[in-house]
Chains A and B, each alone.
Chain A
Amino acid sequence: MERVQTGDGDAYRALLEDIQPLIRGMLRRWFADAEELADAGQETLLTLHRARHTYDPTRPFERWLGALARHTAADLLRRKMRRLRLEVGVDMVPDLPIEPATGGPSELERAIGALPAAQRDAFEMVKVDGLSFEQAAARSGTTVGALKVRAHRAYKSIKAALAR
């Protein structure tokens, strides 16, 4: 890890490959589902990447990695709970008024059109085409975590635009 902090790519690749079983072992306590476990494992790698400057070489690596895995798991579970609450909240979808056909783009289309390209693609793949995060990430050549972030930002921008 010390070499990783100096920018050694080979050491980083070896480390990331070596710690996969360790991360899975740590996360298994919270995620029984294989897909969720894999997702959490990838998120943990992203968290490690963002926090790599905080590793202190005088302290045990496993403990540091365990703290990051715990943080990632807690974050994912929190987000899952929030999503579940929202899903319950919109179980009974109210009838929406149909916009008059004026020939021009609807407010929603305008809001989607105003998004940055990466966010728009992520949103359309997940919300319009109905792809899973994994499928959408593979199609756009990015990670599941990054794609989720893009889709979430797109959703927030659209929500803000529609609220105006």
Chain B
Amino acid sequence: MADRTPTSSQYETTIDRLVGDLRPVRRLPPLSAALGAWVVVMVGVLAVTASMLRPDLASHAGHLRFLGELIGLAVATVLLGALALRSTQPDRTPEPWEQALAATLAVLAIASVASHAAATSVSLGQFVTTGSGCAWGTIGFAIVPVALLLVAVQRGAPVQPRVSGAFATGAGLVLAYLAMRLHCPSDDGAHLMVWHALPVAIGTIGGAVLGGRWLGRWSRRP
């Protein structure tokens, strides 16, 4: 039973309008199903990468650091995707501590990339020529997963659209970074930082901006 206050007539008008406007809706898929679909997308991207693996992959596969990096990237991709998908439901929005943890891991990842030794014998021309291809490669690998995640998030009701946008684009771009580590034979720290990690960072910031504009539209519909 609703309590009667001076404002109850306003409520009644609003309720009448909302009931009149009610249509059946299709519920969001369960989070586990959405996450399963995201893992399928990940496998798809890595399957595409399998046809263009770096020639020295077999020798690198024995290095603990390289293996740890790949596993860390794969785990980060799943986690970021899960956080993005969770944010479609208002009551499952990533908590501040989860956001802080994601930011901390990102800083650690950048520090890890920066710790690779930089090649000293590469000219600036070479650096740019070989590197720009990797930046485009990162973008190419990321386009489909980022678009799919953004569309999935947009179907929900993200209450922190910037955060959702950052997680969705971040997940796709980290996946692309992983694919590029399997494809690009360079382990030069400067190359990895500028042409692999920087597009991920810039893209994630861009995703936050885009998210603020596009993913928050659901709450402004008249």
The chain A residues found within 8 Å of chain B, CB to CB, are: 4-7, 9, 12-13, 16-18, 20-21, 34, 38, 41-42, 45-47, 49-56, 59-60, 63-64, 66-68, 70-71, 75, 134, 138, 142-144, 146, 149-150
Contacts and interface: CB of A to CB of B under 8 A. Distances in A.
16 contacts: A4-B22, A5-B24, A9-B19, A16-B18, A17-B2, A34-B7, A38-B5, A42-B10, A45-B11, A45-B15, A50-B221, A51-B218, A54-B88, A67-B90, A67-B93, A68-B90
Contacts of A12: 18-19, 22
A45 B18 contact: yes
Contact of A71 (B3, B23, B159): B159
B22 A51 contact: no
Given A5-B25, A20-B3, A134 B15 contact: no
Interface residues on B, range: 35 or more
Contact of A54 (B13, B21, B28): B28
Given A5-B24, A7-B22, A56-B28, A50 B11 contact: no
Contacts of B26: 53
The 7 A-B pairs at the shortest CB distance, nearest first, are namely: A51-B157, A7-B24, A38-B7, A67-B90, A53-B25, A71-B159, A17-B2
A46 B219 CA distance: 9
Contact of B3 (A7, A21, A54, A59): A21
B220 A54 contact: no
A85 to B, nearest CB: 19
Interface in B1-54: 1-3, 5-8, 10-11, 13-15, 17-19, 21-28, 30
A10 to B, nearest CB: 8
Contacts of B219: 47, 50-51, 71, 75
Contact of B17 (A9, A20, A143): A143
Interface string B153-189: 0001101000000000000000000000000000000
A18 B3 CA distance: 9
Contacts of A41: 7, 11
Q: Which of A4, A20, A45, A47 has the most CB of B within 10 A?
A: A20
Contact of B90 (A38, A64, A138): A64
Interface string B89-122: 1110100000000000000000000000000000
Given A16-B18, A52-B25, A149-B222, A134 B3 contact: no
Given A21-B3, A50-B221, A64 B15 contact: no
Nearest to B3: A21
A93 B221 CA distance: 33
Contacts of A67: 90-91, 93, 159
